[in-house]
Structure 1
Amino acid sequence: MKEKDICDIIIENVIKEWHISMSNAKDEKWEQPLYSKKKIEKAGKILANRDSSQEEINQALLILNNWRSSHAYPLKIITDKLIRDNSHAIVVQRLKRLDSIIGKLERFPQMSLYKMQDLGGCRVILNSINQVYKSVSNYKSSHVLHELKKENDYIQNPKTSGYRSYHMVYQFKSKSNDIYNKNMLIEIQFRTQLQHLWATALETMGIYTKTNLKSSIGDKDVLRFFVLVSSLFALKEGTPVCPNTSDNSDEIILELKDIDKKLNIISTLSAIAVATNHISKIPKEKKGYHLLLLNFEEKEVKIASFPLKQIEAATNAYNKIEEENLPNINAVLVSASTFDSLKEAYPNYFADMKQFVNMMRKILKDT
């Protein structure tokens, strides 16, 4: 496939360039912020404006990619501590996708790229609600220099979209590396396995239908289906249901059955899980960065893995592939300690929806 060839060439060239640049260096290189707050904010406005010239967009993308890539070091420091403190959990990190950044800037015209809080994000996936709140409490009470800027409990107060998780946003602070003591914001998400299943199923459906369901954009019945599922899961976990849904599981299930009968959502997710049934390359590196390239048309997930010392190459490859704006490729740069945890944390990129599908089929069948 043409897109796959382009990605291969980009990755090969980036790795060659990295080896040349590092031939005389011993330490890993981290991207550093090169632009002022004013220039970063201006770049965000240009990218949000559909009337911007191509020349303006190209320059703005350079600034955005540098600013996003500069979050990799603060993200790693915060994620490493979360891994040490949560040995029983799955902890992963990612840099926000370019299309997600631009989409957010377009939806919220007053938003500043410089102040965007989730360019770097890490996720802690736990087994229970109690574990979520314990992990949140432990991190907040630990001796970190980072400044807590914002927190939202979307478990006790679910979003109208059905999204449930606990969010904290920290401004990175370091005594040893002052270059990152700017407005480097890192978002931490704490969620249960059940909340995670819901979120990844929603994203899978959004990728497949080419609609931004995560932002409540798309077919109203599909959106309603996922809100109802979220409320059903909330009842299982003993937490508040989503706005505008019943708190009676039987009523929720009846409405779910009506929507699924009309749209066959469960069957669609099942078909995706069956269709995307192979991975082109199993990563050899247990620890490092993994560039996931999902092609729904070819029903394939391609993985390019980079050791920890190649973070600069990994972010450069990610930036260049996104700049190509390939129509059938959905890319994300993530990090996880093992391949199994990577697959479990990002099932949407492997279309591994079996657990969600089986759970929903049992729920709808047993009533």
Structure 2
Amino acid sequence: MVSNTRINKIGENISARGGKITPEELDELQEFRISFSKPLVNVFNITRELADKVHQSSILAFRLKRIDTIINKLGREKEMDLSRMGDIGGIRCIFYNEAEVYKAKSLIENYFELGGKTRDYVNEIKRDIGYKSIHMYVKDPISKKRIEIQLRTRNHHNWATLIEITDLIYDLRLKELGFESNKKFGQFHALMSSDKELTKNEAELIYEVLDKYNFISVLSETFRKNNAEVKKRWSSENKKNSFFLIEASKSEIPILKSFKTFEEAENAYFEKYKENSSAEIVLTSIKKPNFKQISVAYANYILSYHTFMSDIRPILQVLAIEALEDKKLNKFEKIFKTYEDLIANLILEVISETADLFFNRLDRNKVFIIGRTNKMNKLQEREIIKKIDLKIKEFQKTHLEFVGELEQNIPSSFFKKRRVEKFLKKHNERITNIMLSKEVKFESIIK
């Protein structure tokens, strides 16, 4: 066992060298990390029972802090003793609403001996970030080691993972360095996390980022590219395994590997880290392992799903209506085309997400669906088609309501009115062209 004196010296050395670590120090740091394994699993199992008293469908996951994240934190917080770093072992609990979050907080406080100050970023939003979560530090009843427990709602978790997805896709470090490291994206995420009604200027700043960085298409294409293949990789894993290694990449399909024991998974993680210290790898365990749970808990690694695509639609609709009210037709058409790009991508996501079909190969971004899975019968096929149909009809309903509001604000002058009406009539044609431009081809035997 590495002593606290020695581990603190290693921390000082890493900080003094600007993040450099020797092979001997790396082995000792790894020994220090894995000393939290059993305490982490013990606290996780207890927390899982407490969370079930709050809501049976709560999502729980745990992880040991990544080596590169420990090293980066030492670089930012140079006065910190490594032995006192409170989040080496961490548990994340995701609930439906804030009432459930606070009920879980109360149960945890009543069961565990606390190991540090609880930080409530729900009632006291983290300055300049908008981050919402409760961070608690508890002591493992056996070893007395400190374990961090984070409590979040699904909405707060969605926002937090969106930052990490943005960091990965655009090579940013918003989570680590703060929103000042990229002010535009920082403001964008702060506004997206806000519960308050956006001002006109705030909504326009969101649109500016969407437009400048082609955010909707980049995000949607990343999700669509990964969805089928990651599902295939998940389906090939042993469903009895509870531990998972997930490796994310902005250019490659995420790698997902399951393990029977924590030790096997941790050894695989350490070898991966030594091969590539900058790789985006997390070792985790999920309370109820299934693809949906792991996709929600680690959306920033799986990169196949996020609610952002639906969340942004009403903002674009409001901006388009306001541009038409102001008779800024060029601006209106530009925003409306961004809205159309979103709708086209949402339709493609509905087909790939709702339809539990077998994607047999990806070829230059073209997805070929060749039929149903072996486990699917004709009744299930019809149910899937029905779900897709209902979702698309829902899009149509909200779109017609949106167009109805636009029509009330069409300029009265002859030429402007004719221009807007002609533009809106070509909506379906533009949607079709957008979908064709995505180079997604569906060939299905389902009738």
Q: Quick check: 1:147–1:172 contact (8 Å CA) kept in 2?
A: no
State the distance in 2 between where 1:108 and 1:264 align.
Answer: 35
- Residue of structure 2 equivalent to 1:109: 78
Partner amino acid, structure 2, of 1:350? I
1:320 corresponds in structure 2 to 271
Is the 1:269–1:353 contact (alpha carbons within 8 Å) kept by the matching residues of 2?
no
Question: What is the distance in 1 between the residues matched to 2:223 and 2:247?
Answer: 16
| Equivalent of 2:233 in 266, 281, 292 | 281
Kindly tell me: are residues 134 and 52 of structure 1, through their superposed partners in 2, closer, same or farther at Cα, counting changes over 3 Å? closer
The Cα of 1:251 is off from its aligned counterpart by 5.2
Q: 1:326 to 1:59 in 2, by over 3 A?
A: closer
1:164 counterpart letter in structure 2:
K
1:362 matched to 2:325: no
Separation in structure 2 between the aligned mates of residue 254 and residue 80 of structure 1, nearest angstrom: 46
> Are the aligned partners of 1:294 and 1:350 in contact in 2 as well (CA < 8 Å)?
yes
Does structure 1 residue 256 correspond to structure 2 residue 210? no
Residues 39-65 of structure 1: per-residue CA shift (max 9 Å, x gap) = 111111222233687xx6212111111
Aligned partner letter, 2:12: K
The residue type paired with residue 84 of structure 2 is K
CA 1:227–1:193 in structure 2 vs 1: closer, same or farther (change >3 Å)?
same
Contact kept, 8 Å, 2:2 with 2:28, in 1: the verdict is yes
Residues paired across the two proteins, number: 306
State the distance in 2 between where 1:52 and 1:192 align. 34
Residues 39, 197 of structure 1: alpha-carbon distance in 2 compared, 3 angstrom cutoff:
same
Alignment correspondent of 2:216: 266
What's the counterpart of residue 444 of structure 2? none
- Offset from partner CA, 1:111-135 (integer Å, 9 cap, x none): 1111111111111100011111111
**Whole-Å Cα distance in 1 between the matches of residues 295 and 155 of structure 2?**
16
Equivalent in 176, 193, 203 of residue 154 of structure 2 = 193
Structure 2 CA distance for partners of 1:70 and 1:345, relative to 1, 3 Å: same
Q: For residues 169-209 of structure 1, what are the alpha-carbon distances to aligned partners after superposition, in whole Å with 9 as ceiling and x for unaligned?
A: 123231xxxxx33xx22110100000010011110111122
Checking the alignment, whether the CA contact within 8 Å between 1:44 and 1:60 is kept in structure 2 is no
* Structure 1 segment 73-92 matched on structure 2, within 5 A: 73-87=38-52, 88=55, 89-92=58-61
Amino acid across the alignment from 2:191: L
Higher helix proportion, which one? Answer: 2
Q: Is the 8 A contact 2:63 2:282 kept in 1?
A: yes
Deviation readout 1:280-329 (Å, 9 max, x if unpaired): 6223234521011223222x12122111xx222211111121122265x3
Deviation string 1:56-106 (CA, Å, 9 cap, x unpaired) is 621211111111111111111111112112222111111111111111110
Contact 2:158 2:306 in 1 (8 A): no
For 1:183-222, what aligned pairs fall within 5 Å after superposition? Answer: 184-215=145-176, 216=178, 218-222=181-185
Aligned mate of 1:161, from 124, 129, 134: 129
Look up the match of 2:289: 338
Q: Percent identity?
A: 30
Computing the radius of gyration over CA atoms, which structure comes out larger, 1 or 2?
2
Aligned 1:59-74 pairs, distance under 5 A: 59-74=24-39
CA contact (8 A) 1:46 1:60 kept: no
Corresponding residue number in structure 1 for 2:116:
149
Do the aligned residues in 1 keep the contact of 2:295 with 2:305 (CA within 8 Å)? no
Q: Which residue of 2 aligns with 1:311?
A: 262
Query: 5+ residue gaps in structure 2?
Result: 320-447
1:344-355 mapped onto 2 (5 Å cutoff): 344-355=296-307
The code of the aligned residue for 2:182 comes to D
CA separation in 2, counterparts of 1:96 and 1:339? Answer: 23
> CA 1:132–1:219 in 2, change beyond 3 Å: closer, same or farther?
same
Which residue identity is paired with 1:81? I
254, 261, 276: which one pairs with 1:301?
A: 254
Contact 1:266 1:360 in 2 (8 A): no
Task: Confirm or deny that 1:45 pairs with 2:12.
Answer: yes
Matches within 5 A, 1:20-59: 34-50=1-17, 57-59=22-24
Amino acid across the alignment from 2:276: N
TM-score by length of 2: 0.64
What's the CA shift for 1:222? 0.9
Residue 271 of structure 1: how far off its partner (Å):
2.6
Unaligned runs of 5+ residues in structure 1 are 1-33, 175-179, 236-246
Assess if the C-alpha contact under 8 Å between 1:285 and 1:306 holds in 2: no
Q: Distance in 1 between matches of 2:188 and 2:74?
A: 27
TM-score normalized by the length of structure 1: 0.77
Instruction: Give the Cα separation in 1 of the matches to 2:159 and 2:27.
Output: 34
CA-CA distance at 1:364 after TM superposition:
2.7
Aligned to 1:290: 244
Matched residue SS, 1:68: helix
Q: Pairwise CA RMSD of aligned residues?
A: 2.1
What amino acid maps onto 1:330 in structure 2?
E
| Distance across 2 between alignment mates of 1:249 and 1:289 | 45
Ranked by relative contact order (alpha carbons within 8 Å, sequence separation 6 or more), the top structure is 1
